[in-house]
Structure 1
Amino acid sequence: MAGKIIGRRARPRGTKGKTTSNQADDAPSEAPARKVRRRPKNRRAQIAAESAAAFGAHGYHGVSMDDIARRLDISSTALYRHFPSKYSLFREELLRLSGLALTATELPPEAEDWSPRARLDHVLDAIISLTIANRPTVALVRWERRYLEPADFDELNAQFTAAIAALRTLISEVRPELDRRDLAIRAVSIFAVVSSIGDHHATVPAKTLSALLTATSWTLIDADLSRPGSTPKAGKQRHQPFKHDLLLRKAVELFHERGYPNVSVEDIATAADLSAASAVYRYYRSKSDLLVAAFRRAADRVSGAIAPAIAAADTPDEALATLIGLYVVGSFEERALTFVYYAEFSHVDHADQVTLRHLQQLIIAEWAKLVVAARPELSMGEARILVHAAFSLVVDLGRAFTDDGICPPDKVIQLLETILLG
C-alpha cells in the first residue's frame, strides 16, 4: 500500500478528491512571472564603450575588470565571455582611435574636383569633429600608448604615421613652397592642438570649440616660420641637495620610460646607485612623494616666471612672448619631466591632486588673461583652450622630433606665438 501512494499528494479524509473552499483559500497564489534579463544585441560594443570611458577617466592601470563589470551591472564572467582581459579592451579602444584618425584624412571621390584648400578644410573638419566626439578618451593615445604590447604599439604608430603623412600631403598642396620637414612639423602640430582638448575640462560650446580649432589649424598652416628666431636662456634652477636632485631626476626618467605603476622604489634606488631601497626613504617618504615633487618642480618652473615677465614687459604681447620662450626652453631641457607632468597625474594622491590642480588652474588663468589682453576678440574660455593647446604642442613636438636640428626650440616658440598671439 505504501508503495502505491509514493509520489501522490495525500488528501484529507472525506474530501473524496474534491477541493474544499478552505483549501482553495489556503492554496498559494500564482507566483509572479520571473523577470528575464535579455542580453543586449550590442553587448560587446556596450562593454567596449563603457571600458573606454573608465580608461579615459582613470587610466589603464586605474581600472580593473571588476570595475568595468560593476559599471555595466553584469558579472565578471559575462564580461570575460566577450573580452579575455583588460588589456584586450584597452587595445581595442586605442586602435579604434588610431583607425579613426586615419579615416579622417581620407577624401571622398568627389574631392578630386575641389580646390587644395577645400580638400584640406574637409579633412580638418573630420579630424576636429571625430576628436570632439571622442574627447573623453583621446588622451589615452597620447599618454598611455606605451602600455601597448610591441606589435600593437607598432600598429597604432603606423596608423598615426599614415594619418600625419596624408595631412602633410594635403598641406603641401596648399603650401607647395614648404620643405618636407616644415610640412611634417605643421601636420604634427595640428594633431597635437586638436587632441589637446582631451587633456583638460575647459569648455566652450561645441560650435565655438570646432571653429576655434579650425581657425588655429589654419593659422598654423598659413604661418610664416622662416624668420630667424631667438631662444632665451632658461633661468638658473634652484637645485636641491645632490641626492635629492639625483633621486628625483632618475625617478622621472623611469616614470617617463616605463610608466609610474611599473617602477618600484628598488628600481629608483638602483638607478641612483643607492645600496638599498631603504636609502630612498631618507630623502623621500614614498614613491608617490617623488611623483609629487616632480609635479611641483614642473609647476614652479612655469608659475615662477609669470610675475617677473609681466613686470618687465610693456605690453601683454611682450609678457606672453617672454613666457612662451621660457616655457619652451625649460620644457626641452627637461623633456621627461614635462611628459610625466601630463601623463602621470592620475597616480598622485588625491589630497596632492587637489593642490596641484589648483596651481595648474592658476597658471592657465594667468596665461589666458594675457592672451585675452592681446586678443580681445577671444573669450576667457577660448583663451584657456588655446593655452592648453600651446602647452600640449610643446610635449608632442618634443616627442615627435627628438633631434633639435629638425624642430629646434626657436621654431617651437614661433608656433606657440602663432597659436596664442594669432
Structure 2
Amino acid sequence: MSRAQDARAKAAVPSTKPDGERVIRRRPKNRRAQIASESAAAFGTLGYHGVSMEDIAARLGISSAALYRHYPSKYALFREELLRLSAAAVTAATPPVAAAASAAGDRLATVIEAIVADTIANRPTAALARWEARYLKADDRRIFDERFTTAITAVRMLIGELRPESPRREQTVRAVAIFSVVSSIGDHHAHLPAKALAVVLREAAWSVVRTDLTAAEGIPEEPPVFDVPQAFKHQVVLNKAVELFHERGYPNVSVEDIAAAADLSAASAVYRYYRSKDALLAAAFRRVADRMAAAIAPAVELSESAEEALARLIDLYVAGSFAERELTFVYYAEFGNVSSYERTVLRNIQRLVVAEWAELLVDARPELSPAQARVLVHAGFGLVVGLGRLFGNDQRMCSRAQVVGLMETTLFGRRAAR
C-alpha cells in the first residue's frame, strides 16, 4: 500500500470514544481551499520568504506530508494567491455587461465600488501584490503584470470617457493613483468598520478623479544628486545595500554582495560599519522614520494653519520620496525583515508620525474622525509610493508637482490652499 493510500485508509478508520460510540474521521472536503486561505494569510503577514510549508501545516494542524498532497511547494501556494489577486483586479475593474448603456460616471462609480470592496475583502494579502510579486517566476510575473495592466487600462478608459479633456498620460496617472490609494489599506492596521472604510476609500478615489492637475503641469527641476565621499564609507555601504535590497529583495542579498558593491575587500569589512545585514536594513529604515518625524515641528511652527502645515509636510514627503525612491520602496517591501525590537521601535515612530499628520488633518477637516484621518494619511503615503513604484522619477509621465497635488487631494478632498 502506498503512503497516500495508507493515509486515506487511516482517515476513514473509525475511532472509539470512551463510551463506546464510534467516530469516523474524514478529511474535510474543502481542505485545499483551507490551505490556500491559511497560506495567503501567512504570506500576507510574513512575506514569501518568511513562511515555510511547515509553518502553514502547523497553522492548519496537519502534517507537512498532508500539505504536500495538495500543493507541491510553497511557491505553488504563493503563485496561486498572487494570480488570484491579479485576476480579481481585472474583474473589479471591468464594468458589468449590464452597465454598458450607462453613463461613464455611473460605470466608473460601479468599478470604484468594486475595487474598494475587493481590496477590503482581500486586505490581509493586498500588500503581497504590491511588494512580493517580484518573487514570481518570469512567466508568472508576466501574467501578473499583464492582468494589472489590463485593470489599470480599464479604469483609465473610463476616466477618459468621463474627462475627455485630460491627456491620456494624466488619465493613466489617475488610474494608478486610485489603485494605490485603495490598496494602501494592506500596508497598515488602522481600523474602521468595513462600511465606513469603504466610504472613505471611495471618496478619496473620486477626489483623485475630479481634481484639477493643470496647475501641476510644470516639470520641476530634478533635485541635485551628490556623490557620497568615500570618506563616509558607512554611508556608501548603506546606500549600496539599499540598492541591492531594492533590486533583488532583502533575502536574496548577502553581505558578500554588499561588500562587492561598496568596493570593500571582503565581507568582513562590512562589519566595521554595521554589525549585521539586519542592522543595515534597520539603519536605512531609521533614516526614513527620523526624517519624517523631524519635519513635523518645523512645519507646524512655520505655518499659520493646520492645512498649511500639512501642505509643507506633503512637499517634504514627496521630495524625500523622489530623492530616495529605492529606500522608500524598500521601507515598505522589507519591513518584516528587521528584528522584532527594531520593528517595534520603527512602528512606534510611524504611529507617532501618522498620529501627528492625522491630528493636523482633523484640524483642517473637522468633519473627519481621527480614525478616518489616519486611513487617509496612510492612503496619501500609499499613493506616493504606488506612483513611484510604477513611474519612478519620470517627471514627464508623472511630475513631482502632480504627485504633490494628488496627495493633497487624497488628504483634503481638494488641492491645498497655498
When the two structures are superposed, what TM-score results if normalisation uses the length of structure 2? Answer: 0.91
1:43 aligned partner: 31
Q: Please list every run of 5 or more consecutive structure 2 residues that lacks an aligned counterpart in the other structure.
A: 1-17, 414-418
Checking the alignment, whether the CA contact within 8 Å between 1:139 and 1:199 is kept in structure 2 is yes
2:77 pairs with one of 89, 93, 100:
89
> Matched residues in 1 for 2:25 and 2:134: separation?
39
Instruction: Answer whether contact 2:306 2:364 (CA < 8 A) is retained.
Output: yes
* Residue matched to 1:411: 402
Change (3 A) 1:236 1:165: closer
How far, CA to CA, are the matches of 1:228 and 1:345 in structure 2? 32
Aligned-pair distance for 1:173?
1.1
Partner Cα distance (2:223, 2:326) in 1: 17
What is residue 89 of structure 2 aligned with on the other side?
101
Match of 1:327 among 317, 320, 337: 317
Q: Kindly tell me the number of residue pairs found equivalent between the two proteins.
A: 393
Q: Give yes or no for the alignment of 1:301 onto 2:291.
A: yes
1:232 touches 1:329 (CA, 8 Å); kept in 2?
Answer: no
Give how far 1:204 is off: 1.1
| SS in structure 2 at match of 1:113 | coil
Q: Which residue of 2 aligns with 1:63?
A: 51
**In structure 2, how many angstroms separate the alpha carbons of the residues matched to 1:412 and 1:109?**
34
* Deviations 1:152-201 (CA, angstroms, capped at 9, x unpaired): 11110000000000000111111111111000000000000000001000
Shift of 1:235: 11
1:364 and 1:235 map into 2 onto residues whose CA distance is: 29
Alignment of 1:75-224 (within 5 A): 75-224=63-212
State the match for 1:246 in structure 2.
Answer: 236
For each residue in 1:243-272, what CA deviation from the matched residue of structure 2 results, as whole angstroms up to 9, or x when unmatched? 110000000011111111111100100000
One-letter code of the match for 1:266? E
TM value normalised by structure 1: 0.90
| Aligned partner letter, 1:316 | A
Task: Give the Å deviation of 1:317.
Answer: 1.1
After TM superposition, the structure 1 = structure 2 runs for residues 343-422 of structure 1, keeping only pairs within 5 Å, are 343-402=333-392, 403-422=394-413
- Indicate the percent of aligned positions where both proteins have the same amino acid: 60
* Cα distance between partner residues in 1 of 2:312 and 2:306: 10
SS at match of 1:388: helix
Asked whether the 8 Å contact 1:232–1:326 carries over to 2, the reply is no
Instruction: Give the deviation of 1:82 after TM superposition.
Output: 0.8
Q: How does 1:270-281 map to 2 (within 5 A)?
A: 270-281=260-271
Q: Report the aligned-residue RMSD.
A: 2.0
Paired letter, 2:200: L
Structure-2 separation of matches of 1:34 and 1:345:
50
Report the AA paired with residue 203 of structure 1. H
Letter of the structure 1 residue corresponding to residue 189 of structure 2: H
Q: What letter matches 1:413 in structure 2? A: V
Letter in 2 for 1:390: G
Tell me the CA shift for residue 78 of structure 1. Answer: 1.0
Contact 2:303 2:309 in 1 (8 A): yes
Match of 1:13 in 2: none
Q: Give the AA of the match of 2:163.
A: R
The answer to whether 1:266 aligns with 2:256 is yes
User: For 2:292 and 2:217, how far apart are their aligned partners in 1?
Assistant: 21
Structure of greater Rg: 1
Tell me, yes or no, if the aligned pair for 1:233 and 1:326 is still in contact at 8 Å: no
Shift in Å, 1:89: 0.2
Q: Is the 8 Å Cα contact of residues 138 and 195 (structure 1) preserved in structure 2?
A: yes
1:36 Cα deviation after fit: 3.1
Distance 1:259 1:207 in 2: 36
- 2:282 maps to 292
